[in-house]
Amino acid sequence: MKLFTAESARGRGESAGKPSWSQTLIELTRRGPVHVLLIFLAIVWLTPSLGILTTSFRAPADIATSGWWTVFDELGRLSLTNYEDVIADSESAPPGIAQNFLNTIIITVPSTFLPIFLAALAAYGFAWMQFPFRNTLYLLIIGLLIIPLQTTWVPVLRIYNIFDLAGTWPGIWLAHTAYGSSFAVFLLYNFFADLPGEVFDSARVDGASELVIFFRIVLPLSKPALASLAIFQFVWVWNDLLNALIFLQDSNMMPLSAGIRELLGQYGSQWNLLAAGAFISMIVPLTIFFSLQRYFVRGVTAGAVKG
């Protein structure tokens, strides 16, 4: 009898450790619609990108006679000719796309690192240092988020003309740094404020300065927030057109977004060239996003839940 009781108890314990069929069915019912919805949204978002990608490899005659979804019937006719025409100086496409691509990198890389670095310094100060009017200054910086960028172009451009910054690389870097710093401070402050203060206290006891704490402790612990902020800032600057038109004012310094606009304006009927140019402008942000996606969710949700 004792053996039977022990076996029965062990069986009940194993049954308790595994979900029953009814619990499994309920769990699948709960998750099923969510998964279906996410798959549907993914398909909706990816379909235009897939259409651009396939169109960029097709011949103009095929584009004019059939849709991009028929690409499997013409695999033998796909080629890189459209990309060669867009990047190289050819008669069928305007010159300068390759230079626009290089200009975009020159604009985007400093305009991504500068605001992140400066905002990280400011966010650390607001989160862990004591100084007069700290909260007031933080609220003023966050309040800049509600100011439309369009209202700042005229006064900023006047200041640029005084200091000969209009039409220069430092001018566009400073513009993007200023416009992106408020959001960067807001995002990083929420993450820095959740870091364990005991680590900073121990470092100060050991004689570490604030800069040493910032570079040796804060930055290594803040990779998720820094990576998510880098994605936001990089994509925003990479796709920007209006700030480049206003602050650069030189066709030889225009970014890739201006080159795509040129393609759209003068070669609007050549869908093969437009698709190739559009995908060239998409490939770098997509690469950056997928390479840093493991940090993205952790970074944007930092500070959202406390306790």
- pLDDT for the residue 19: 59
| Mean pLDDT of all residues belonging to the chain | 82
Domain boundary among 39, 62, 86: 86
Assign residue 255 the CATH number of its domain: 1.10.3720.10
Sequence-distant (6+) residues with CB within 8 A of 28 are none
Range scoring the smallest mean pLDDT among 96-105, 112-121, 213-222: 96-105
| Residue 129 amino acid letter | M
Q: Mark whether 93 and 55 lie in a shared domain.
A: no
Between 211 and 306, the higher pLDDT residue: 211
The mean pLDDT value for 147-155 works out to: 91
Sign of the C-alpha dihedral computed for residues 189, 286, 147 and 246 taken in this order: positive
List pLDDT tens digits, range 71-115: 887 777 888 888 887 777 555 444 568 888 899 999 999 999 999
Domain boundary among 29, 55, 86: 86
- Note whether residue 14 is domain-resident: no
- Could you tell me the pTM of the whole model? 0.78
Phi-psi region of 249 (alpha: psi -120 to 50; beta: other; left: phi over 0): left
Domain-located, residue 106? yes
Quote the radius of gyration of the chain (alpha carbons, Å): 27
Q: What is the pLDDT of residue 266?
A: 62
In this structure, are residues 141 and 179 in contact, taking their beta carbons and an 8 Å threshold? no
pLDDT at 182: 93
Residue predicted with more confidence, 307 or 34: 34
Q: Which of 43-47, 52-56, 90-94, 246-250 has the lowest mean pLDDT?
A: 90-94
Residue 4 domain flag = no
192 vs 200: CA distance, rounded Å? 11
- By the 10 Å C-beta count (0-12 exposed, 13-18 middle, 19+ buried), 261 is classed as middle
Domain boundary among 33, 56, 86: 86
* CA dist 15 → 1, 10, 27, 28 (Å): 21, 9, 17, 19
Cβ neighbours for 16, distance < 8 A, ≥ 6 positions apart: none
151 and 254 in a common domain: yes
* Residue found by looking up tokens 């996606």 in the block: 293
Question: Are the C-beta atoms of residues 216 and 284 closer than 8 Å to each other?
Answer: no
Residue 305 has pLDDT above 80, yes or no: no
| One domain, residues 236 and 179 | yes
- 80 and 166, same structural domain? no
pLDDT for 139: 93
Give the residue from 180, 194, 266 showing the smallest Cα distance to 231.
Answer: 180
**Kindly report the CA angle at 31 between 26 and 34, in degrees rounded to 5?**
145
- Top pLDDT among 268 and 258 is at 258
Mean pLDDT (whole number) for 301-306: 49
Provide the domain limits for residue 34: 20-86
- Average of per-residue pLDDT across 201-207: 89
Give domain status of residue 7, yes or no.
Answer: no
Of the listed ranges 218-227, 229-238, 258-267, 296-305, the one predicted with least confidence: 296-305
